[in-house]
Amino acid sequence: MEIGNWVTPRSFGCWFKYTPRVGRLLVYNITMNKKNVIDTHHVKMVTVYASSSSALKPVYYDAARRLGEVLAGAGKSIMYGAGGHGLMGAVADGALSRNGEVYGVVPSFLQNLELTHQSLTGLKIVEDMHTRKQLMLEGSDAVVTLPGGSGTYEEMFEALTMKRLGQWVGPVILVNTNGFYDGLLEFMNHSIAERFMGSSHLKMWSVVDEPEDVLDAISNSHDWDSDALQFANVTVANA
Ligand code: AMP
């Protein structure tokens, strides 16, 4: 799929080409057969899914900002939904405050410049939400999910679904600020107990309470590869 070039948010006249690293672009293409070797030194681009809400308790913005600082401090680049407000804006601000690289992907209909972060390293304007989600996932070595609403859930569950099918194999880390995801995690365990997912699918995600624990969680993520397709369907034998 031709997706176009990145532009900087301030000057759309300034373009640069985004070249995905060979061997990393696995999404929607079951050709990957190597083990996913997880090593934070090799995780360069981290996609962050996070709330767009500007009406949250301060504890959520504080954690989001710290996540941006932690990732940038470790030399990771961030890809996210380009928002200038909510937890999205806080992550970007945190990373930019540590001279991190932050790339945003936004569909044109959402590209109200008041909402789009104005200081990003790069901005890509795409046609629709589907293209955005695909681009954000295929460009990432790992996914981190902060608290959020329907948009955040959709993005994270697409990552988990692609991982279950072996089409994208990176770590998925949930930051459970203030216990926000306790109910969701209980439901995911319920899904496994009821055999809608297999127990091996529990290895697809990790949970941390604090953003400072995200890098260790990435390092300690279970290996995953395209063989996951073999056990994507739950059977009596593999439940
Ligand atoms: P939500 O958790 O429902 O607030 O949705 C946030 C997620 O959906 C982000 O990760 C974005 O990719 C996307 N999104 C939703 N609303 C916006 C917005 N106003 N600006 C940019 N991205 C948004």
Which residue segment(s) compose the domain that 137 sits in? 47-231
| Position in ligand 1 atom list of the atom nearest CA 86 | 4
| Residue 29 belongs to some domain of the structure | no
Query: Residue with the nearest Cα to atom 11 of ligand 1?
Result: 81
Which of 46, 152, 153 has the most ligand 1 atoms within 8 A of CB, as the residue to mutate?
A: 152
The widest CA-to-CA distance across the chain, in whole angstroms, is 57
pLDDT exceeding 70 applies to what percent of the chain? 85
pLDDT at site 233: 87
Domain harbouring 202, CATH code = 3.40.50.450
Question: Looking at the predicted structure, is the pLDDT value of residue 23 above 60?
Answer: no
| Residue 1 belongs to some domain of the structure | no
| Residue 185 belongs to some domain of the structure | yes
| Residue 225 belongs to some domain of the structure | yes
Q: Are 127 and 4 in contact (CB under 8 A)?
A: no
Distance (Å, whole) CA 47 – CA 141: 8
| Residue 237 belongs to some domain of the structure | no
| Residue 176 belongs to some domain of the structure | yes
Render pLDDT for 134-191 as a digit per residue (tens, 0 to 9). 999 998 999 999 999 999 999 999 999 999 999 999 999 999 999 999 999 999 999 9
Domain total of the chain: 1
